[in-house]
Amino acid sequence: MALDPIIKGLLDAVDAMNAPPMSEGTPEEAREHFRSLALGLRQPHWIVPVASVEDTTFPGAAQERAARIYRPEESTSVGTTPTVLFFHGGGHVIGDLETHDNQARTICRDTGSVVVSVDYRLAPEDPWPAAPDDCFASCQWVFDNITAFGGDARAVGVAGDSAGGNLAAVTAVRARDAGLTLRAQLLIYPVVDYSIEGPYPSRIELAEGYFLTLDDMAWFGEQYAGHGSPIDHPHLSPIHADFAGLPPAIVVAAEYDPLRDEAEAYAAALTAAGVSVELIRAPGMIHGFFDLGGISPAAAALVKQCTESFASLLH
Q: Within 10 A of 114 (CB to CB), how many other CB atoms are there?
A: 27
| Cα 24 to Cα 293: distance, rounded to the nearest angstrom | 30
Catalytic residue among 4, 96, 101, 257: 257
| Cα 244 to Cα 11: distance, rounded to the nearest angstrom | 40
Catalytic residue among 162, 202, 237, 296: 162
Catalytic residue among 235, 237, 287, 291: 287
Mark whether 257 is an active-site residue. yes
Short-list 52, 19, 44, CA closest to 34:
19
Mark whether 100 is an active-site residue. no
Short-list 188, 170, 169, CA closest to 252:
188
| Cα 62 to Cα 130: distance, rounded to the nearest angstrom | 8
| Cα 40 to Cα 263: distance, rounded to the nearest angstrom | 28
At a CB cut-off of 8 Å and minimum separation 6, what does 47 contact? 101, 102, 105
- Using CA atoms, how far residue 87 sits from 95, 210, 271, in Å, is 10, 23, 23
Mark whether 162 is an active-site residue. yes
Question: What are the catalytic residues?
Answer: 162, 257, 287
